[in-house]
Structure 1
């Protein structure tokens, strides 16, 4: 479904009216809602490893190339993601936790069979080079929207775009962030958004992003990731 109803629902709660156009409208309020829609959508997408954003990519080796570009729509690796060797199905590539360990083992040939991997410099790097059998791995796509013609997009640019995640979260998130930005009391709005976010996340069954510390982290400012460098 297009995001227009979600934006209109937020506007009705904020200013008591439903604009018919947001993207391309001349009004300041509509422009603010569009900006917050993309901001909130990114917050939601990074909250956990939603199954709707999960993709699988295959790297085809040649026995000599050690560096490969990431998928065009790459956002991040899944929590605890692993690279599978397509020939030796019983085990996969070992993930290095930091660049120093990777470079140390690479220089000395200490990597286990079939090899190890890490991401840095926006490249997927292996030691040693993967063979022609290749490797496959899951990742999270940055394409959080779809156009009216169903083509994927990384951001909203039109009222006819759709959100690949629950659009109700857009409404709740926009209301909270807009009111908070205006210096208004948005405590209840924040709580409603977080509650809905947790409920949808629990039903989705995607792997949770690890958060550290004893207090709840708010997704727009305090997302923390662990695992392989990226």
Structure 2
């Protein structure tokens, strides 16, 4: 499904005429639909670690600047040394100061802003950072990004979730009852998250 087909499917449900085009049009309903689709898509992308949004970045040195599409570390052992050991993530600045001040064979890392620091620094080379990308839109030709830019853009998560998320948002925005649609969206979201993880 594309952005246009998603919005037209929602239009059928909420009794709007179908659109020939939605992105970049002056039609207020189309503009509202695109804005709500952006909102719904961003929420859906944030609420799960979708497999198609999981990325790996190979480290060259310490500190390592994270990729531009970095959103958050993947769950579990997100940073692996070249020899297969996992880095222990340190979140406290005071603890990090102690760790870098004492020579240790145990690999540690610390995320600070858009940089990842490693101790011992030599362990950084060849390490892999597993992360969740902020990009949830797939454009043409295979350009991943975090916003819609064309009618034929698709999503990196199941598009039916975008349909469900758009329906309840449209109804809420128009002051219509939306609670059943929201509950349906939440149930489908959970089902799709489990399916994406292979647990359904």
Residue 148 of structure 1 contacts residue 162 of structure 1 at CA under 8 Å; is this kept in 2? no
- Segments of 5+ residues of structure 1 without an aligned counterpart are 208-230
- Segments of 5+ residues of structure 2 without an aligned counterpart are none
Bigger Cα displacement from structure 2, 132-141 vs 52-61: 132-141
Change (3 A) 1:93 1:17: same
The TM-score normalised by the length of structure 2 is 0.90
SS at match of 1:35: helix
Rounded to whole Å, the distance in 1 between the matches of 2:145 and 2:12 is 27
- Give the match for residue 218 of structure 1: none
Rounded to whole Å, the distance in 2 between the matches of 1:160 and 1:128 is 47
Q: Kindly indicate which of the two structures has a greater share of residues assigned to helix.
A: 2
Residue 93 of structure 1 contacts residue 113 of structure 1 at CA under 8 Å; is this kept in 2? no
Within 5 Å, which residues of 2 pair with 1:65-214?
A: 66-86=62-82, 88-89=83-84, 91-106=85-100, 108-109=101-102, 112-131=104-123, 133-205=125-197
State the aligned residue count.
199
- Give the match for residue 44 of structure 1: 44
Task: Report how far residue 199 of structure 1 moved.
Answer: 0.9
Residue 40 of structure 1 contacts residue 173 of structure 1 at CA under 8 Å; is this kept in 2? yes
Change (3 A) 1:187 1:29: same
Rounded to whole Å, the distance in 2 between the matches of 1:38 and 1:155 is 7
Within 5 Å, which residues of 2 pair with 1:215-230?
A: none
- Give the match for residue 9 of structure 1: 9
